[in-house]
Amino acid sequence: MSLESQVAVFVDGVLNYFDTTVQQSAQCGTPHLALSDKPEISDYTGVIQVTGKRSGMVAFTAPKSMLSVMLMRMQETDMGHENLCDLVGEIANTLSGNARRDFGHQFQISVPSVLSGRDSKLEYPADTRPIVIPIDWRNYHARLIVCLGG
Amino acid sequence: MNEVTHRLMVVDDSNVIRRRIERANELPEVEFVGAARNGVEALAMYEAVHPTLVTMDLTMPEMDGAECVAKLVQRDPGIKILVISALADKLTAIDALEKGASGFLCKPFTDRQLNEALRKLIRT
C-alpha cells in the first residue's frame, strides 16, 4: 500500500469518526512528514501501539477544550480528567481499529495508553518518520500522528 | 406499554462508551442492569445480574471480548451478544460470530445504529 493510500485510510477514519460520533464534520489539513522536530502534542494524547505485519504507533492528540465539547455533543455530563483521558484513548483506539479494514487482520493494536500535559514525551519507534494529519473541528485543532514501520 | 423482557449488560473498557450505550438505549423492552470494564468483570457481573443481552467490546485489558463471548455462551447458550468494536476487518467479525456472538456493530456508531442493532438482536 502506498504512503498516500495509508494516509487516506486514516483521514477517512477521522472524518467518519467526527461525522458519526459528534455529528459535526471535521476537516483534515495537509498531512506531512515530521522531518526534523517531533510533532507538537496537546493537552491529552491517546496512544495505540501497533504490532503484527506493521509495527509502530498511532496517537491522537487534542486540547482539553475540544475533548470537553466533544463529550458534551455525546450528551456526557462529566467532563472531568478521567473522562477526557478515556475519550482521547477511545478515539485513538477507534481510528486504529478502523484501519484494520484496509491494513488487514494482522494489524494488531494494543489497548490505549494516555498522556496528559503538553510536556509529555511521546515515544517514537526507531527508524520511522511520523506522519502528522492536522484535524480542524469547529475552532479546535487536533492531530493524528501515524508512525508505522515494516 | 411494553414489558421489559431483556436485561442488558454493557462491557467496554471505556467509561464514556459504557455510559453512552446506557443512555442511548431507547428500547422499552430492554432494561440496563449493569456495566463491566473487561471480560473478568463481565463474568463476575453475569452471575450477579443475569443479563439476557450483552454489548461487548473486543479490545480490553484483563480478558478481551472474544474470550469473554466464548465463556458467556458456554454458561448460557441462549444469551444474545452484540459485539461493538472498532476492529473493522471481516475476520474479526467472523471470529466473534464463531465464538457465539449474535451480531456485530462497528465503532464509531450513532445512537440510531445502536438501537437498530439491539432491535435486530432481540428479534433473532
- Spatial contact of A42 and A92, defined as CB atoms under 8 Å apart: no
User: Which domains does chain B possess?
Assistant: 6-110 (3.40.50.2300)
- Spatial contact of B105 and B83, defined as CB atoms under 8 Å apart: yes
pLDDT confidence of residue A128: 84
B11, B62, B87, best to mutate vs chain A, most A CBs in 10 Å:
B87
pLDDT confidence of residue A49: 95
Domains of chain A: total: 1
pTM of the entire structure? 0.94
Task: Using DSSP, state whether B10 is helix, strand or coil.
Answer: strand
pLDDT tens-place string over residues B5-35: 999 999 999 999 999 999 999 999 999 999 9
Instruction: Show the cell assigned to A142.
Output: 487536533
Instruction: Show the cell assigned to A68.
Output: 470537553
A93 touches chain B (CB under 8 A): yes
Closest partner CB to A93 (pick from B59, B91, B92):
B59
Look up the ipTM and state it: 0.90
Per-10-residue mean pLDDT for chain A, 150 residues long? Answer: 90 97 96 84 96 93 98 95 98 96 92 95 87 97 92
pLDDT confidence of residue A112: 94
pLDDT confidence of residue A60: 98
Q: Considering only residues 51 to 90 of chain B, which have any Cβ-Cβ distance to chain A shorter than 8 Å? A: 59-61, 85-89
Q: From residue B61, how far is each of A69, A141, B68 by CA, in Å?
A: 28, 30, 12
pLDDT confidence of residue B89: 87
The parent domain of residue A49 ranges over 3-149
Contacts of B92 in chain A (CB under 8 A): 100, 105
Q: Residue B1 above 60 pLDDT?
A: no
Q: Residue B73 above 80 pLDDT?
A: yes
Cα B50 to Cα B47: distance, rounded to the nearest angstrom = 6
pLDDT tens-place string over residues B27-54: 999 999 999 999 999 999 999 999 999 9
Cα B25 to Cα B22: distance, rounded to the nearest angstrom = 6
Q: Residue B2 above 80 pLDDT?
A: no
Q: Interhelix angle for B65-75 vs B90-98, to 10°? A: 20
Contacts of A105 in chain B (CB under 8 A): 89, 91-92
pLDDT confidence of residue A83: 97
Contacts of A107 in chain B (CB under 8 A): 89
Whichever domain contains A71, its CATH number is: 3.40.1550.10
pLDDT confidence of residue A117: 96
